[in-house]
Amino acid sequence: EADIYQTPRYLVIGTGKKITLECSQTMGHDKMYWYQQDPGMELHLIHYSYGVNSTEKGDLSSESTVSRIRTEHFPLTLESARPSHTSQYLCASSGRDAQTAKNIQYFGAGTRLSVL
Amino acid sequence: GENVEQHPSTLSVQEGDSAVIKCTYSDSASNYFPWYKQELGKGPQLIIDIRSNVGEKKDQRIAVTLNKTAKHFSLHITETQPEDSAVYFCAASPSGGYQKVTFGTGTKLQVIP
């Protein structure tokens, strides 16, 4: 089972609030990712990191920002939340599987954000 | 960049029947094809994967097939059970997943008891 944790699991906030979604992994993985998941299921990559002090924007433009100061921690911040930010946010990490040499992504359980 | 298409978007089968989900990819450099299962309230979890040097791989009731020439790959679930009900994602990546993984749009599978 993957050791990747997201908090909070659910968050309901008002417009204009600043929020930070937490993501931590204890597997020592260098690569970490944030996905936004539509109600229609599709996963959209919004940020990724290949290591400490490395962050890149993903395929889907997002008003959120991320930081990677420690290997195990990859928080996502919205400076001023809006109703359009309402979605499910999934964090993932990946690293080289020792047995298979494959780079497998492991996902957290997600944060469901509702902005009123 | 890579484009992964997945069909169908929803699939209902009777318990005990088989389910097949199909994906196509565009980038011939892709050589690693994982499949993820997402249960309600959880994040996606890897259930099976296949590399481009293999045409088929099986794990109990789940099998994946890959046609590199046609750039098609499929997930087959036999003897479906209610606990197979979930959203399934295919994905494609070059370099064994070390480079970017591109996900399909997902298939919601419902197994009717």
R_g over Cα of chain B: 13
What average pLDDT score do residues A58-74 get? 93
User: How many Å lie between the alpha carbon of A90 and the closest alpha carbon of chain B?
Assistant: 7
All residues of chain A having their beta carbon less than 8 Å from the beta carbon of residue B98 are 96, 103
List pLDDT tens digits, range B43-58. 999 999 998 888 999 9
> What residue of A is the nearest CA neighbor of B39?
A109
pLDDT recorded at residue A1? 57
pLDDT band at A95 (very low <50, low <70, confident <90, very high): confident
The predicted-structure confidence for B44-100, as pLDDT tens digits, reads as follows: 999 999 988 889 999 999 999 999 999 999 999 999 999 999 999 999 998 776 778
- Average pLDDT estimate for A9-32: 96
Nearest CA in chain A to B50: A102
Q: Which tops the pLDDT comparison, A75 or A104?
A: A75
What CA–CA distances, in Å, run from B47 to A9, A61, B111?
A: 23, 29, 18
Strand, helix or coil at A44? strand
B43 touches chain A (CB under 8 A): yes
Report d(CA A94, CA A44) in Å as an integer: 17
Please compute, for residue B49, the number of CA atoms within 13 A of its CA located in the half-sphere on the CB side.
22
**B101 shares contact with chain A (CB less than 8 Å):** yes
The answer to whether A106 contacts chain B (CB < 8 Å) is yes
Task: Give the integer Cα–Cα distance in Å for B56 and B111.
Answer: 24
Tokens representing residue B113 in the block: 């008891």
Q: Taking a C-beta distance cutoff of 8 angstroms, is the pair B2, B101 a contact?
A: no
Distance CA B87, CA B59 (A): 19
- The predicted pLDDT at position B113 comes to 94
Q: Residue A36 is which amino acid?
A: Q
- State residue B63's pLDDT score: 97
DSSP bridge partners of B112? B14
Q: Does B41 touch chain A (CB under 8 A)?
A: yes
- B33 neighbors B88 (Cβ within 8 angstroms): no
Element (H, E) at A32: strand A31-37
